[in-house]
Amino acid sequence: MKPPEKLSGWAGIEDHLFKHDTGEMKYHAEDIDTLLVFAGLFSAFLTAFVVQTYPMLTDDDFSATNQLLALGISMQLQLAGTIIPAAVNYTLTSLIDAQPFSAPTSARVINILFFLSLVLSLSAALFGILAKQWLREYLRWNSPLALPRENVLV
C-alpha cells in the first residue's frame, strides 16, 4: 500500500491547520454537549420544584369565595331584620374583615431563588447553543473554491 502524499507549501499548511482545528473544535463541542445535557436536566429538575412552590405565592381561591358568601349572608340577614347570634356574627365579620393576602417571606425567597436558578440554567443552555453554532461556522473557513493561501490567511 502506498503511503499518503505529503502536501507542501500553502496546501500543507492548510491541511495541517484544518486537522488541528477540527480536532480542537471536536473536543470543545463534546464539552459543550455535556454542559447542555446537564443544563437541560437541571432545568427539568428545577421546574418540578417551581411547579410545587409557585402556588404558595398566590391567595387561596376559597378564601375570596368565603368572603363573598359571608358578605352576602350578612347582607341578607340584615335586610331580613334577623337577629344574628354573636357566634355567627363574629364568624361573618372575621370572614368579611380578613386581611389581604400576603405571601410568606420564606415562600418569596424560595421562589426567587428557584426562578433565578432556572433563568441562569436556561441562559447557560442558550450560550452553549450559541457556542456550538459558532464552532460549526468556524470550521467552515476551509473553502474548496479558494486557493490554499487564501484559506490559511483568513
pLDDT digits (tens, 9 = 90+) for 57-90: 887 666 667 667 776 776 676 667 666 665 566 5
Per-residue pLDDT reduced to its tens digit, 89-113? 656 566 556 567 778 899 899 999 9
Pull the grid cell for residue 35.
Answer: 454542559
For residue 128, the model assigns a pLDDT of: 94
Whether pTM > 0.75 for this model: the answer is no
By C-alpha distance, which of 39, 24, 30, 17 is closest to 127? 39
Task: Kindly state the percentage of the chain with pLDDT values over 90.
Answer: 34
Return d(Cα 91, Cα 100) in angstroms, integer. 17
Helices (H), the chain: 9-53, 61-80, 86-96, 105-138, 148-153
Domain residue spans of the chain: 13-58+107-154, 60-102
**Which among 76, 105, 100 has a CA at the least distance from the CA of 88?**
76
Cα four-point dihedral sign 121, 124, 128, 133: positive
